[in-house]
Amino acid sequence: MSGKSILVVEDNLETRELLAYNLKNAGYAVRLAGDGLKALELATRARPDLVLLDVMLPGGMDGLEICRRLKQDERTRGVPVIMLTALGDEVDRIVGLELGAEDYVPKPFSPRELLLRIKAVLRRSGSAAAAAEDGFREAGLVIDFAAHSVSVDGEAVALTSTEHKVLRELVRSKGRVLQRERLLDTVWDTDFDGTSRTVDTHMRRLRAKLGPYAEWVETVRGVGYRFKPLPIPAKEPQHR
């Protein structure tokens, strides 16, 4: 038994029961919701390990809106989300990933493929969460969140408290796009009257301090930012 809990949000009764059957047989604890309000209530009452979320839902709150709310809520923001989308509906898939969903599965889906996707997402999210709590180390970039320290190629870099918070949000969501609005909500106080320019200004300062790793903080035009480590070209040996 996996011991992991999955919240299934699907309005079609037949599909919901099929999902529950396969997930329970795979050892997952399953909770079911047929609409957005019920889904948010269940997710905040007892945090699931993963949310399986249909895009098309009744009641005026679709899956994309639920995903947005889950990722903005401190209680559920770290819960991985897999979107169930109509076959060929590329727009929903792109928007879902931009909102923070970890993966998507088109309908009609293969139960075996779905279980493999769920297993992979849970494995990645578990590793990323554990790593983000401690810090990050790759190539010459070393981040220790507990000690509030950052070094670039062995040289200590002084970051402000806000820059540390921004960097932590990026690392915790490595590979996923963070909207400017979400960064404003999570990094700055709720009473802070800032704009997207505030985020952009801090990103420029952060990049300047990261030196050769500045490009790891990627701008996603019209949406926000993503932490995406890239290969660093090897330095050419100096000839005397």
For the chain, the structural domain boundaries read 5-131, 139-227
Residue 107's contacts (CB-CB under 8 Å, 6 or more residues apart) are: 84, 85, 86, 87
CB 81 within 8 A of CB 51: yes
Distance (Å, whole) CA 87 – CA 81: 18
Q: Is residue 99 scored above 90 in pLDDT?
A: no
Please report which confidence band the pLDDT of residue 1 belongs to, taking 50, 70 and 90 as the band edges. Answer: very low
Mean pLDDT is lowest, of 126-135, 147-156, 190-199, for: 126-135
Please report which confidence band the pLDDT of residue 133 belongs to, taking 50, 70 and 90 as the band edges. Answer: low
Task: Answer yes or no: CATH 3.40.50.2300 is held by domain 5-131.
Answer: yes
20-56, pLDDT tens digit by residue?
999 999 999 999 999 999 999 999 888 899 999 999 8
**Residue 46 CB coordination number (10 Å):** 9
Q: What is the pLDDT of residue 51?
A: 95
Q: Is residue 126 scored above 60 in pLDDT?
A: yes
75-89: average pLDDT:
82
Give me the CATH code for the 139-227 domain, please: 1.10.10.10
- The two domains 5-131 and 139-227 share their CATH topology (first three levels equal): no
Please report which confidence band the pLDDT of residue 4 belongs to, taking 50, 70 and 90 as the band edges. Answer: confident
Please report which confidence band the pLDDT of residue 192 belongs to, taking 50, 70 and 90 as the band edges. Answer: low
